[in-house]
Structure 1
Amino acid sequence: MKTNRPYVTINKESKLKELMEALHKNMDNIKKFDGIAGIMLDGGMSRGYADYLSEIDVVIFLHDKEFQSYKEEKTPIALGITKMEGYLYDIKVLNYEEEWRKEYDSIALWDMSYAKILYDTNGELKSLFDRKLKTVRDVSAAEGLMFEAWWNYKLAGDIWLHREDILQGHYCLNNAVKPLLSALFIANSEYIPHDKWLIHMSRTLEWKPLPYDELLQGILYTGDMNLESLYKRQKSLECFWNAINDKLCGMLDFNNGLKLMHRGVFQNLERIIEKDSFTLSEWKEFSSISSLNYEPLFSFTEIKDGMVMIDRNKLNTLGEKELYDWFYDVVKAVRQESVMNNREVIKE
């Protein structure tokens, strides 16, 4: 686990020490469950901060037999939001074996990566932590997030700028912020946090587009809610998006002039142009047959005699009149890559 991780920077008096003392005083009550595999602290306290608005978030992992039994009987303490000795708790019970098998999403991994083990006599909870937190932060997962951000700030943004609907325009720009900040966490090899902490924790990421505070304000600022404010906000989002895109492309060694959001389509086209035809089973190893129904594949492929056939002449002559510019950019890049590779072969 990285040591220089995002952290809480709230400039208010923290009640963490007080709440931790209250928790430890109540641990005997919390441990009254049968079949405990382990107990952990998560939520804001596990990330090093608590105030009068915080609850004490406790997760109790029970083995399957006891977990199922408690569905038919009362638990030793109340679950969910409850008070003990004047302090607010949020008590959750999980099935240890089920959690062991479950595939955690980024938010669950982010939560666990900060969580503190409170009770683990047999090391079972540590084993679960070790198993889950081995999950590699896949940089390529940012492709979809970057496309989502681009679709909202650029494609939809341009539409509503032209139509001069300011409120609808800002709404679309709002929808670009979350995927863009999520991609920023991936660019730092971090799990993506819960929305509640997304902006706050982003400020202490190791790498950020600069000047970060200025750009962050720019992507959120709605100004006077006039057309000019929409243009300015879109420009800030574009600067933010481009910086993250360049960082991610560098991490994936995808430096051919395209954007990260083009990478999946580009890699498929690169693979396709290596051959003139594929059996259906060969094609299904890297794509679906239904993908042939969509551009740019639709324009230069056909299924004939149980084979996917590639029309290279059509691929080489496709132009802006036949393809949406998003797809045309990828096709041009693949052509250029093919020409460069052929030149290298000739030189050899």
Structure 2
Amino acid sequence: MGTTFLIQSSDPALLEKATRLAHEQIKQYMTDDIVGIVLLGAITRGYFDHLADIDIALFKKQDSDFAIQDKFFKVDGIEVHIWLSDYESEVASAWDMPKRWTYAQGEIVFDPEGKTAVLLQEKVPLKEDEKRWLVMSGLTLSEWYINTLTQLWVERGNLISAHQMFDQGLKFFYDLLFGLNDELVADMKWRYFAIEQLKRLPSNFQARIKETMMLHSLTIEELDRRKAAFMAIWEEMKPIAEAEMQLTFDEMVQLV
């Protein structure tokens, strides 16, 4: 996925200012105690607005007593977030996918021994088995939640629960789309926005997913309308997922 996010509220002048301030702040952390520095967030994604902040990740040597006085502070009206961690601890720990997605959008700005680049190369990229799981679980579980569990809750007499199944089902469907695009699943804050940036999407995706999301009333008729809208999108992606996995839908169900 490209690192340039087209945000309507982005201000080029503010982006230039924030970038300058970020690099000014980073200079003070370029010491022997620091293994590497990564610039994250809005700046490296190519936008900045009044709601954005400067995110800087510091990886320090484990035996160092290096510390920061303030994790959050403002410089010239812009909030700065400093994320400090031990390099050795990060090497040993497992990174969840939202964290990996965040660093995939980052920029290494200080790495004198090349260790930070090695760390990110080991931790960040989507692995083949992860991709397969995203595609298989995304295809099967999105259908289960939206096509099957909705009816279960209708029969159990709870229409609110029936409609709520769409929330979980769409999360799994988004996993499918990220997997088919060989992309990490974006952090929840950015998930839908990132989905729209993907190259392999159902035709007329934005309008059709809107029909699925839209809820006019908590009725069976509305449930059927939403389900039909989603299943049309799902049916379009089913053969694509099957071809990608070299498995039928029924075979995927057995594996998930």
TM-score (ref. length: structure 2): 0.88
**Shift of the alpha carbon at 1:244?**
3.0
Which deviates more from structure 2 when the two are superposed, residues 232-241 or residues 139-148? 139-148
Pairs within 5 Å for 1:179-328 = 179-255=172-248, 258-259=249-250, 261-264=252-255
How large is the RMSD of aligned CA atoms in angstroms?
Answer: 2.3
**Residues 63-100 of structure 1: CA deviation (Å, up to 9, x unaligned):** 1111xx35xxxx34412x32234320111111111212
Query: Which of the numbers 3, 9, 12 marks the counterpart of 2:9?
Result: 12
Pairs within 5 Å for 1:36-55 = 36-55=34-53
- Residue of structure 1 equivalent to 2:22: 23
**Shift of the alpha carbon at 1:39?**
0.5
**Residues 297-346 of structure 1: CA deviation (Å, up to 9, x unaligned):** xxxxxxxxxxxxxxxxxxxxxxxxxxxxxxxxxxxxxxxxxxxxxxxxxx
Asked whether the 8 Å contact 2:35–2:115 carries over to 1, the reply is yes
Return closer, same or farther for 1:253/1:93 CA change in 2, 3 Å cut-off.
same
- In the alignment, the residues of structure 2 paired with residue 6 and residue 230 of structure 1 have an alpha-carbon distance, to the nearest angstrom, of 37
Pairs within 5 Å for 1:31-180 = 31=30, 35-66=33-64, 69-70=65-66, 75-79=67-71, 81-138=72-129, 139-142=131-134, 143-162=136-155, 165-180=158-173
Asked whether the 8 Å contact 1:60–1:93 carries over to 2, the reply is yes
**Residues 254-277 of structure 1: CA deviation (Å, up to 9, x unaligned):** 14xx34642527xxxxxxxxxxxx
- In the alignment, the residues of structure 2 paired with residue 222 and residue 6 of structure 1 have an alpha-carbon distance, to the nearest angstrom, of 33
- In the alignment, the residues of structure 1 paired with residue 191 and residue 10 of structure 2 have an alpha-carbon distance, to the nearest angstrom, of 21
Asked whether the 8 Å contact 1:41–1:118 carries over to 2, the reply is yes
**Shift of the alpha carbon at 1:116?**
0.7
Letter in 1 for 2:167: N
Return closer, same or farther for 1:227/1:188 CA change in 2, 3 Å cut-off.
same
Asked whether the 8 Å contact 2:59–2:85 carries over to 1, the reply is yes
**Shift of the alpha carbon at 1:49?**
1.7
Return closer, same or farther for 1:225/1:250 CA change in 2, 3 Å cut-off.
same
5+ residue gaps, structure 1: 266-348
- In the alignment, the residues of structure 1 paired with residue 232 and residue 214 of structure 2 have an alpha-carbon distance, to the nearest angstrom, of 14
- Residue of structure 2 equivalent to 1:345: none
- In the alignment, the residues of structure 2 paired with residue 65 and residue 199 of structure 1 have an alpha-carbon distance, to the nearest angstrom, of 41
| 1:209 alignment partner, SS class | coil
Asked whether the 8 Å contact 2:138–2:174 carries over to 1, the reply is no
- Residue of structure 2 equivalent to 1:277: none
Aligned pairs, number:
252
